[in-house]
Amino acid sequence: MAFFNRKKPELTDISQIELPAHIGIIMDGNGRWAKKRGLPRSAGHSAGAQTFRKIARYCSDIGIKHLTVYAFSTENWRRPEKEINALMKLFKEYLEEALRDFKDDSIVLKFIGDRTAFSPELLQLMEENEEESKDRDGMVLNIAMNYGGRAELVTAMQRIAADVKNDQLSADAITEQVISDYLYTSGQPDPDLIIRPSGEHRTSNFLLWQSAYSEYVIMDVLWPDFKEEHLNQALIEFANRNRRFGGV
Ligand code: FPP
């Protein structure tokens, strides 16, 4: 066989492929899913929350080590109050359920984003879940809530500047790694794969720094309709990509 014609064989079975260490998911399409059914947008978010439960469990079961889901962006506060309240209710229900029912779970829960905007009750549930799950040995599930990639970078820059001012850090020592260490995802690998259902071709301010070399898989399915098979499909597509990280 010609040396230069060495093509990766097509991989089709997820048990044979190398899994990404970190998957990001932009859970998009809840509103359209509801509209198609003549339902309020909140019904789409409820269905989306069920899909989130199912897919997070599936990722953990198949051995994914880090999963980050985009649940609420810094821009989502612009939505009608009714919709925001419905989302907050869903977060509260999930966080209460996690504390109550996931005692023997292996999943480590983390929240990324500016949590100061949430109600004291939600904030407490977030902290309790992080504390309760921190010593587990399974998948790290990052729930991005009031998260924006730009806001994350601004916060990191402010903390870096403060540490330089206090002589905790020298300006010459600021490297890419140092910046990564000041982000919410500090200590975790960058996402290898980012899945965006609902067909939109945008990053929407999701993991801006961390996604520099992520493979994006855009899927033509609305998030509430997203099934384990769609995740498998994305994993197979990812496995068949040729990642070069700027090399050849
Ligand atoms: C984007 O779809 C989705 C959101 C802004 C909310 C995502 C939240 C969930 C799936 C619930 C998660 C729940 C927990 C417990 C983490 P969209 O509303 O912008 O859809 P559209 O583009 O079709 O209008």
| Chain-centroid distance, C-alpha 97 | 20
Tens of pLDDT, residue by residue, the chain (248 residues) = 444 444 555 666 788 889 999 999 999 999 999 999 999 999 999 999 999 999 999 999 999 999 999 999 999 999 999 999 999 999 999 999 999 998 889 999 999 999 999 999 999 999 999 999 999 999 999 999 999 999 999 999 999 999 999 999 999 999 999 999 999 999 999 999 999 999 999 999 999 999 999 999 999 999 999 999 999 999 999 999 987 888 87
| Domains, the chain, ordered by start | 19-237 (3.40.1180.10)
CA 110-115-121 angle, to 5 degrees, is 95
CB 108 within 8 Å of CB 136? yes
Q: Give start and end residues of each alpha helix (H) in 2-75.
A: 30-36, 41-62
E-assigned strands of the chain? 22-26, 66-73, 108-112, 140-147, 193-197, 215-219
CA of 36 to the centre of ligand 1 (A): 15
Ligand 1 pocket by C-beta < 6 Å: which residues?
A: 27-32, 45, 48-49, 52, 71, 76, 90-91, 94, 143, 223
Q: Ligand 1 centroid vs 1 CA: distance in angstroms?
A: 49
* Model pTM score: 0.94
The SS3 call for residue 145 is strand
